[in-house]
Amino acid sequence: MKKNYFLFALILLSSISMLRAQKIDNLIELKQKSQNPLFHQLGKAIKTPAFESEGYWSWGSSVVKGDDGKYHMFVSRFPKSLPFHPGWMVASEIVHAVSNVPQGPYQFSEVALPARGAQYWDGRSTHNPRILKYNHKYYLIYMGSTHPFVDPTYDQLTLNSPWCTVARSNKRIGLAVADSPYGPWKRLDEPILKTKPNTFFSFLTSNPSPVVQEDGSVMMIFKGRRHMEDGKYSNMALGIAYAPTIEGPYRVLNNEQPIFQVAGQGEAEDPFLWKDDKGYHAIFKDHVAKFTGEKGGGVMAHSKDGINWTVDKDPKAYSKTVEWEDGTIAKQGQLERPFILFEDGKPTFIFFATMDGPGEFENGTHSWNMVIPLK
């Protein structure tokens, strides 16, 4: 009996090892055979977090090289005294962290955009930071929100609670300006991209990803949602906005129609936009696995004008399954908010917000910002 048990255990361990080897070979093979301009160039992810904050959930980040030669990360965080989802809607703050090298780790410097009172449109939460440097000034484009209630407890804050409903409906895109990455930051008292009735962004605007063009104008991908119907939120859609300068005014292009929507290309969020001599390019989260077959994987798309988009012929830009520098491979609970750092016009690193746990926000215990070198 003992011999049979030992034999069974040995076979089981051997099977697990073989499955793991297949998983490793499959990911590596997928990357090697990929024709996607990003996926096959992903190196091994750095094990040391680019940024984490004790006692806080940390999420999406954006990096810029400063006049001081250091690298400056702007990243959102919110206290672990609240559940991850929807804690970010009601209590997030954007903080500044610094590193001597682009891959980090980044050390906390100060809170860049703290809570400033419920009377402000962004008074209770700042999130989704995108940092831009232009004409010796620094610009933070971000999502902000507010609500009029006292701070909730962990158990009170649910997706159906008044805090979440009101804070979600107040999500807007705004701007802060500073002469230095260390601040002080001048925040605008009005959003730069508000909602508009009878459009795909009538309920909220968020997830901004801007690029400054050669003439100083800005193209910005963002996420919108229509108002709730029958107690349900509409599907997410991505749109494109334009402004003659970073400070605006911004207007939504494409006759105020989305450029990616669930009825067409598939539901998407967390876009990252960039531009080169070939046109505009974007990666975003494949929210319902329509493009890549992987829910939460990354999609790449291209456009000549920023309005008419074509998904890459090999669309998979990244996977939630990550190859780490120590040779291990693991599927992350979440992998969101991609940001590519360009230096001298070349992509060098891609940053992600990530989390442990088997697939859902409710199961995670630890979140951090990770970085993958680009070959």
Q: What is the mean pLDDT of residues 7-25?
A: 41
Pair 109, 183: CB distance under 8 Å: no
332-358 pLDDT, tens per residue? 999 999 999 999 999 999 999 999 988
Kindly report whether the global pTM for this prediction surpasses the value 0.85.
Answer: yes
In the prediction, which pLDDT does 126 show? Answer: 98
Mean of pLDDT over the chain: 91
String of DSSP letters for 22-72: HHHHHHHHHHHH---TTGGGB-PBPSS-SB--TTEEEEEEEEEE-TTS-EE
Q: What single-letter amino acid sits at 372?
A: I
Give the C-alpha separation, 37 to 314, whole Å: 9
- What's 358's DSSP letter? S
Helix axes 84-91, 162-169, angle to 10 degrees: 60
Q: Measured between alpha carbons, how far is residue 277 from residues 15, 203, 274, 345, 360 in Å?
A: 49, 35, 11, 10, 38
Phi, psi of 91 (to 5 degrees): -145, 20
Give the C-alpha separation, 64 to 308, whole Å: 29
291-341 pLDDT, tens per residue? 888 999 999 999 999 999 999 999 999 999 999 999 999 999 999 999 999
Domains (ranges, CATH) in the chain?
Answer: 22-49+193-351 (no CATH), 52-190 (2.115.10.20)
- 139 or 24, greater pLDDT: 139
In the Cβ-directed half-sphere of 279, how many Cα atoms lie within 13 Å? 12
In the prediction, which pLDDT does 26 show? Answer: 82
189-207 pLDDT, tens per residue? 999 999 999 999 999 999 9
In the prediction, which pLDDT does 85 show? Answer: 95
231-290 pLDDT, tens per residue? 677 888 999 999 999 999 999 999 999 998 766 555 788 999 999 999 999 999 998 888
